[in-house]
Structure 1
């Protein structure tokens, strides 16, 4: 399986369990790795035979800025579902970064990574 990787997609979302997170919002960063068989696209040089990563990038950021959820797990699943809605995408690995998570000790980042594939 070939991979198309989008790293560091940034958007402000209102996800989290704390009222402050829902009211103020915070930055989220998303990395997406799409499993795609790119042979047909390479042979034909036809965008229609692969996935348009510009469209996927917009859909990922739209999901982050969209309806809030409590858990990173839910947000990551929503993103994976959007990616898998593209016919060419056979699997999606999604990492959601929450660099301003409400943690009381010094930290660099909080991430959740999920991997989903077509059933």
Structure 2
């Protein structure tokens, strides 16, 4: 499938992390999603009902990141993938979760995990 809906740089404020202060204070997370699906019908009908509404999808993704704190961003990425794949039109999803304020004692530009999941 070569058609994609791409959401880049979605921002969420959440309380994920191994350390107590991460859970207490929270921090920003940035999420990139590439959803693979067939967009031919939507292009032909010009009807949003024939695609996945990317605005609604973006809200669902951010809400999933902002709820229920966990230790690892790997777990957050899996959660996001499940939310995206709940849309039956989407066959595959690539998710990247960035943690720009990760507790690393050296200067860094980015910390992220990326996963690629397909419908079973």
Quickly name the TM-score band, shorter chain normalised.
over 0.9
- Aligned residue in 2 for 1:38: 39
Q: Could you tell me how far apart the structure 2 residues matched to 1:57 and 1:37 are?
A: 19
The RMSD of aligned alpha carbons is: 0.7
- Aligned residue in 1 for 2:53: 52
Contact preservation (8 Å) 1:35, 1:89? yes
Are residue 113 (structure 1) and residue 114 (structure 2) matched?
yes
Contact preservation (8 Å) 1:30, 1:95? yes
Gapped runs of 5+ residues in structure 1? none
- Aligned residue in 2 for 1:69: 70
Q: Could you tell me how far apart the structure 1 residues matched to 2:25 and 2:104 are?
A: 16
Indicate the SS of the match to 1:99.
coil
Q: Could you tell me how far apart the structure 1 residues matched to 2:107 and 2:45 are?
A: 51
Deviations 1:45-104 (A, max 9, x none): 121111010011001110111111111110000000000001111111000000000001
Task: Report runs of 4+ in structure 1 exceeding 3 Å deviation.
Answer: none
Q: Could you tell me how far apart the structure 1 residues matched to 2:113 and 2:4 are?
A: 20
TM-score if structure 1 supplies the norm length? 0.97
Gapped runs of 5+ residues in structure 2? none
Between the two proteins, the alignment pairs up a number of residues equal to: 119
- Aligned residue in 2 for 1:18: 19
